[in-house]
Amino acid sequence: MRVLIADPPAFTPVYDHELAAALARAGAEVELVTSRFRFGPVPEPAGYTRRELFYPLSPRIFGRSPLRLPVKALEHPLGLARLALRRADVVHVQWLMPELDDRLLRHRSPLVLTAHDLLPRRTVAKTDLWRRLFGRFERVVVHSENGRKVLTEFGVPETKLRVLPHPVSPSDPERADDGRTVLALGMIRPYKQIEHAAEAARLAGARLLVAGDPVGPLPDLDGAELRLGYLSTAELDRALGDATVAVFPYRAELDQSGALLQALGAGVPAVVYDVGGLAEP
């Protein structure tokens, strides 16, 4: 079987790599179609091929500038045309550009979607758009039973849905925690309520370590140690090794958390709000 994995924006390169490598080990011929990852190196292909067919200009020329977004929208149809020419028995899409993919995503082969964000925040109100998009896919993969419930209630036929738990990312960082370090890990967005982590650390008399890439201005974090930006593997291991406990005080706007599973995979205890599928075993 020839499997085409499509992650046009390269949002989840490590997840893509692990999925592609696992399918290759299972005997599939796998091709990962994506774009240049803007923040650093990505894992070398292991038994699969990797092609950067999307966005040849916007990430290279504009970096993190907002100007990259309109250029990216202009480049997206070209990437979809290239994707449509690739031979496959199944096409597994990881991330969508909803407004364009609703009209332009086409392939001769069956389409599968992994709904990493069940209903992405930016377009969650566009229910007709998402019903059309979900209707385009033969199968929709979610990472929890909560995800299955949410999309069933949204109108996705239960026969289309498959639950594949998000894998834990194992690591063994050098331990250097002082017994009082609270780690807030991952991309820093408003729904992650990092101010709750700051307040919890203050009440406990603990040290707050914030390690991740902020999207927008930060709230007052009251003396926290900040390690901002995209974390390399070495920087991630250092943060995990320094942590006594990791906290994830998220609002109910997501289903699973890759950062949570990185912490657990490193043996760091985690405290989470019971939202989405975070508390599922």
Q: Which of 163, 197, 212 is the last residue of a domain?
A: 163
Q: What is the pTM assigned to this prediction?
A: 0.91
Q: Are residues 109 and 8 in the same domain?
A: yes
Cβ neighbours of residue 66 closer than 8 Å, sequence gap 6 or more? none
Q: Do 117 and 208 fall within a single domain?
A: no
Pick the residue with more confidence: 164 or 119?
164
* DSSP letter, residue 89: S
79-88, 103-112, 252-261, range with the lowest pLDDT: 252-261
How confident is the model at residue 35, as a pLDDT?
Answer: 97
Q: Are residues 42 and 90 in the same domain?
A: yes
Task: Return the pLDDT at 151.
Answer: 96
Q: Does 145 share its domain with 196?
A: no
Looking at the domain assignment, is residue 53 inside a domain?
Answer: yes
What pLDDT does residue 281 have?
67
Is 114 in the same domain as 43? yes
Domain membership of residue 65 (yes or no) is: yes
Q: Are 138 and 159 in contact (CB under 8 A)?
A: no
- pLDDT surpassing 80 at residue 42: yes
> What mean pLDDT is predicted for residues 183-189?
95
- C-alpha 75: how far from chain center: 22
Residue 228 sits in a domain whose CATH number is: 3.40.50.2000
A 10 A CB-CB count for 188 gives: 21
What would the mean pLDDT of 251-270 be, rounded to a whole number?
Answer: 94
CA distance 149 to 172: 34
Whether residue 115 is found in the same domain as residue 49: yes
| Mean pLDDT calculated for residue range 257-264 | 95
- Boundary-marking domain end, from 163, 191, 213: 163
143 and 218 part of one domain: no
Q: Which domain holds residue 217?
A: 181-272
Q: Confirm whether 188 is domain-assigned.
A: yes
Question: So what's the pLDDT on residue 148?
Answer: 96
Instruction: Yes or no: say if 277 and 146 are a contact pair by the CB < 8 Å rule.
Output: yes
137 and 25, same structural domain?
A: yes
- 92-149 pLDDT, tens digit per residue, is 999 999 999 999 999 999 999 999 988 877 777 889 999 999 999 999 999 999 999 9
Return d(Cα 260, Cα 121) in angstroms, integer. Answer: 20
Name the residue with higher pLDDT: 205 or 122. 205
CA angle 25, 43, 140 (to 5 degrees): 60
- Same domain for 12 and 54? yes
First to last CA, the chain: 32
Residue 280 forms part of a structural domain? no
